[in-house]
């Protein structure tokens, strides 16, 4: 079965009613995500060596574009997932890649940070452009190593599928390198990783776009994706090209029935104008509390 046929079956059978629930009630499209995993579409861009579809950015963009016509929330989730998988394909271990290929892992990006962390100078503009992108390029969050354990402390904004994903591609300052940034694969079930009980308004309804707090979260040193300090090159050469292409693919005309219920953008990760004015208040819940098992 071709990936387009598999996608058509998923969208016909699930995404229609799921899209309405996401748009009207803000419900995360878990049924659609699960079906995409079972159909091999979450693993579409994982190499065939690890059981994936072996496809690339053009096919991922096609899936996002077709999905966006039916359910913008699911399309947003796929934008972040496929971009994160591109990083994992290049730097992740075989077990993780096989889990994604099997449809058992939903990945997301945790790269953008709060305005008030560090100097606050980066990303202080509105809309798209260099000031928005700089939030991905200059992390202020800290990573501290003790033996084989690394403590990550940060407040990541505009994380799609916050509390729903199984893994976050996370950025921090390098451990020892003089400049650049370092990327990590942070499991959603890691202790002391939290999202607000009531997510903010960023992103289309149902995409579970919110802030993720680590105060700190502990991960094994082997969770590093690539070399210490080499993450900036990965963001420039992989994350931004994938994210921008997938974002463009998702910016299609929405179904009229959903227009009044959906937010303005399919991909909040590069648009600080979509971030809440302040972090949502209220109780926190573990970031992996709703992640698929």
Q: Residue 244 and residue 64: Cα distance in Å, rounded?
A: 12
pLDDT value of residue 12: 87
CA 190 to chain CA mean position, Å: 17
Please provide residue 97's backbone torsions phi and psi, each rounded to the nearest 5 degrees. Answer: -65, -40
- CA–CA distances in Å: residue 119 to residues 107, 127, 135, 277: 29, 20, 12, 18
Quick one: tokens of 228?
């210490």
CB 210 within 8 A of CB 159: yes
Q: Mean pLDDT of successive 10-residue segments in the chain (293 residues)? A: 93 76 83 94 98 97 95 94 98 96 96 58 37 64 94 93 96 93 95 76 82 93 96 95 96 50 38 37 47 31
At residue 195's C-alpha, the angle toward residues 119 and 108, to 5°, is 85
Edge-first strand order for the sheet with 193-196 is 142-146, 149-159, 210-220, 193-196, 284-286
Instruction: Note if the bond before 216 is cis, omega within 30 degrees.
Output: yes
pLDDT in tens, 224-274: 999 999 999 999 999 999 999 999 999 864 444 443 333 333 334 433 333
pLDDT value, residue 195: 84
How does pLDDT run across 43-70, given as a tens digit for each residue?
A: 999 999 999 999 999 999 999 999 999 8
DSSP-assigned letters across all residues of 118-158: TTS-TT-SSSSSHHHHHHHHS---EEEEETTEEEEEEEEEE
pLDDT at 14: 72
Q: What is the rounded distance in angstroms from the CA atom of residue 230 to the CA atom of residue 76?
A: 27
């Amino acid at each position: 079965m071709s990936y387009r046929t598999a996608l058509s079956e998923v969208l016909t059978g699930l995404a229609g009613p799921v899209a309405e629930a996401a748009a009207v009630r803000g419900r995360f499209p878990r049924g659609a995500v699960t079906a995409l995993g079972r159909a091999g579409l979450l693993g579409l861009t994982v190499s065939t060596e690890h059981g994936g579809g072996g496809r690339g950015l053009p096919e991922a963009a096609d899936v996002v574009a077709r999905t966006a016509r039916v359910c913008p929330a699911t399309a947003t989730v796929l934008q972040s997932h496929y971009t994160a998988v591109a990083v994992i394909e290049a730097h992740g271990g075989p077990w993780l890649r096989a889990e994604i290929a099997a449809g058992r892992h939903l990945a997301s990006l945790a790269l953008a940070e709060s305005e008030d962390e560090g100097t606050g100078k980066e990303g202080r503009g509105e809309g798209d452009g260099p000031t928005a992108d700089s939030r991905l390029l200059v992390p202020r969050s800290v990573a501290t190593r003790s033996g084989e354990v690394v403590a990550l402390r940060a407040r990541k904004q505009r994380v799609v599928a916050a509390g729903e994903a199984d893994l976050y591609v996370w950025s921090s300052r390098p451990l020892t390198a003089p400049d650049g940034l370092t990327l990590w694969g942070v499991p959603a079930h890691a202790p002391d990783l939290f999202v607000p009980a009531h997510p903010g308004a960023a992103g289309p309804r149902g995409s579970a776009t919110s802030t993720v707090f680590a105060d700190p979260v502990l991960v094994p040193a082997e969770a590093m994706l690539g070399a210490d300090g080499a993450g900036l090159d990965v963001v420039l050469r992989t994350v931004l090209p994938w994210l921008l292409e997938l974002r463009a693919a998702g910016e299609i005309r929405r179904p009229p029935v959903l227009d009044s219920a959906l937010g303005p953008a399919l991909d909040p990760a590069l648009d600080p104008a979509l971030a809440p004015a302040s972090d949502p208040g209220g109780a926190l819940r573990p970031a992996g509390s709703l992640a698929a098992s």
